Each structure stands twice: as C-alpha cells, then as structure tokens.
Amino acid sequence: MASLPAQTLFTPEEYITQERKALYKSEYLDGQIFAMSGASRAHSLITSNISNRLYNQLMESDCEVHSSDMRVQPSPIAYFYSDVVVACGEPRFEDDVFDTLLNPIVIVEVLSPSTAAYDREEKFSHYKQLTSLQDYILVSQYKFCVEHYCRQDRQWEHTEFRAPEDVLTLTSIGCKISLRDIYMRVIVTESRGGHP
C-alpha cells in the first residue's frame, strides 16, 4: 500500500522569515502556508470604499486604517491579511519591522466564493482571541449583505444589513457607513447561484 507524502509544516518563525522575502502574500495557519489569490473588481472596490470611508471619518482621531497589506496575528498559530483593519491608540506590533499588527479594534473581510465559510468560521475563531477586537464585518461581493459581529462583554452580537439605505454603525470607533457607500460602483445582483 502506497503512503502519502508527508506534508511539510512550518513554524511561525519560518513563515514570517519566508513571507518577508516573498513577492506574493500568503497566510499562515497551524503550520501550513496558503498563497492568496488576486481579488475581483467587486472585491477591490468594496475594500477601497470601506477603507476610504473609515479613513475620512478617522483622520482627526488616534485611529489608523489599513487595507489588505497589513498582516494581523490573531493567535500564536495564525497570520492573516484582513481586507480592512482599524487600530486605535498605540498600535502594537509583533516586532520592530512593524508589519504584523496585534491589536486591531475593527476587522473587515470581503467574502469570496472560495473563502466565505473559512472567513465565517475558522478565521473568526482566531480573530475572537484578539482581546482588542470589537467589530468583525463580513461583506458579500454579489448582493447587498453585510454581517456585523459586535463584541458585547463575552458574547458576539450578530446583525445583518441587506438594503442600500441601511447604515452600519461602528460604535467602537465612532463611524457609520451606508451600504450604498460600501457598494458604490459595484454591480449588485440579488441572486447569484452558488455564491454567498
């Protein structure tokens, strides 16, 4: 009986060393490295729309907004690139390279068909370990649908927004964004088979 080849596992230190030299971004989870694929037009527009709206509202505050190039370490065995991340006060980083954020207060993930379940379950389970995190937002690319998970003591309250006039309120950073602004220039359909 033939055996399967052993899978190569990497330590977090090996991942970081490799990632800092890489030409393309990869995420890390429990010894495995996952290459990230390119984003669709809708994904890119939604990410930019949210990042720009938050930046404009926070530019006079002590908060900073980062888009998908800022790596986040939510747990000792995970490194992710969130689509939009907000840190307030003094940002904390893993080391003096300042490219791995440890204390985000808001994280936004724009859902792709291939990553929706992963973002909702596996990633969120690690993000929950961040004591700083107050808001986790999931945004569909294909229909007006924004899911907001807001930390309430030890529980996460879940709210969905599905109309263009709905407004997402992020009390933790004092910001509001309408779905109309989130989906600006994005072609939205109410039903797209097989997509979240």
Q: Is a pLDDT exceeding 50 seen at residue 40?
A: yes
Q: Check if the beta carbon of residue 85 is closer than 8 Å to that of residue 101.
A: yes
Which amino acid type is present at position 24? Y
Sheet-wide strand order for 71-75: 32-35, 26-29, 78-81, 71-75, 100-101
Which amino acid type is present at position 150? C
Q: Check if the beta carbon of residue 84 is closer than 8 Å to that of residue 107.
A: yes
2-6, 39-43, 45-49, range with the lowest pLDDT: 2-6
- 148: region left, alpha or beta (phi > 0 left; psi from -120 to 50 alpha): beta
Enter the pTM of the model. 0.92
How long a stretch of residues is the chain? 196
d(CA 25, CA 69): 8
Rounded mean pLDDT, 50-73 = 97
Better pLDDT: 89 or 193:
89
d(CA 43, CA 109): 10
DSSP code of 60?
T
Tens of pLDDT, residue by residue over 25-38, are: 999 999 999 999 88
Q: Is a pLDDT exceeding 50 seen at residue 192?
A: no
Which amino acid type is present at position 16? I
Measuring CA to CA, which residue among 94, 82, 84, 78 is closest to residue 63? 84
Instruction: Give the pLDDT band of residue 191 (cuts 50, 70, 90).
Output: very low
Q: Is a pLDDT exceeding 60 seen at residue 82?
A: yes
State the pLDDT at residue 123.
Answer: 96
What values do phi and psi take at 12, rounded to 5? Answer: -55, -35
Complete DSSP assignment for 98-137: --EES--SEEEEE--TTTHHHIIIIIHHHHTT-TT--EEE
Q: Check if the beta carbon of residue 144 is closer than 8 Å to that of residue 168.
A: no
CA angle 54, 59, 60 (to 5 degrees): 130
